[in-house]
A and B are shown apart, each in its own frame.
Chain A
Amino acid sequence: MLRYIVNRLLIVVPLLLALTVLLFLYVHAVPGDPIAGMLGPNGTPELVAQIRADRGLDRPLLEQYWSWLSGLVTGDLGVSLISGQDITPIVIARIPATLQLTFAGLFFVILIGFPAGYLAGKHKGGWLDRILSPAALIGLSMPAFWVGTLLILVLGVQLRWFPTGGYVAFEDNAWQSLRLTLMPALVLGITLSPFLARMVRASTAELAHEPFIVQARTRGLLPGTISRRYLLRNAILPVVIVIGMQLGTLIGGQVIVEQLFNWPGVARLLIEGAVRRDYLLVQSLIFVIAVIYIVINLLTEVVHASLDPRVRL
């Protein structure tokens, strides 16, 4: 097990390093002068030069890369192109909101996706499957902004059950915080659970023909016992894999949902940076998001490997 983890880590480190090179080149691939572009008609050459020097963009490329990289290692993400503020504290302030939404979203993804996939797979071809499978395909085709808009209009505007957007920290007002989390998390659940449902369905349906299930059946075990003891346990495996696989989509969904519900998270910061063309902020945020993505992927792989010893081979 330890060897497996070390092996995976050995792949991650060069991957991250290459990613920093790519992202560094990204900022320098900006056509024209990003600072002149940012300042527009107000940008006198002196002002441009002053900001350039202030943000450290006038140093040799290698030196710039080195200082960015050594900053990253110590957790310093550099400064914003526009405001000149340190990025790290801004990002850290946004992390609790983002995590709250991510976990609430994952909760709904599993709550909807797992039972639906398991039941459809267990009774493959049955009436439930014939309702759930097309429903999953429709769910897969619905953009998060559309589902979110519908929920806002119905639950927020018509019925007035939930606020239409905003964020309150959990420790400030737990009840209001949960009320505000529900709709955006539900959007993530509705739009992302079909992936999980389809995977769980396929693997559960395949399980029915596995020798150990057939053997359990011939031993005369009750269907309920077989389900509990063998089917359910094995059906949980793909959940871990799908969470790793669909993480990119979850992050993409989160970008949309944070924007739609005015959720002050990291993803919304990325959009704010993109709209204002703050390349340095966007660069650092892409790095942070990619690191989170890679780390969670690594974790799901390790969990998967600990659940299923075959993977370690």
Chain B
Amino acid sequence: MEEYAREPCPWRIVDDCGGAFTMGAIGGAVFQSIKGFRNAPIGINRRLLGSLAAVKERAPVVGGNFAVWGGLFSTIDCTMVHIRKKEDPWNSITSGALTGAILAVRNGAGAMVGSAVIGGVLLALIEGVGILFTRYSAEQFKPINPQMEDPSQLSQSGPFGNQQYQ
């Protein structure tokens, strides 16, 4: 992968939506091809055809569901960044929960609460793993015995004392 930096905030929504769609479509294609292969009638030709039919039928739908999730999540995340003026794990967790709730809005209040809890816990897990990973990887860059330079020496020497021109 090349140097891949995230876009600044309003454009991040488009970016995340596309990334989620790609992930869902490719993952859905792999999953549905296996499922279609297994569920088809006997005979390798029929199995391959069933696999293809399942991919054509379901993979775009899985991708679309992912895209809606990613786009809505990112929209709420950016809105919270704008309102709270800071980016922290709570933004992600809250927007995960809100996304779950909004997407279940047609299924009743109970489903909304359940979906919100799932979204929040999922995002909390992701953020927690990210923080742990950062902690562990930061550990190896810690200097073992740092030698601090004395800043008071810098101003005392004259123009010819230790003039080094870098």
Task: Tell whether A pairs with B.
Answer: no
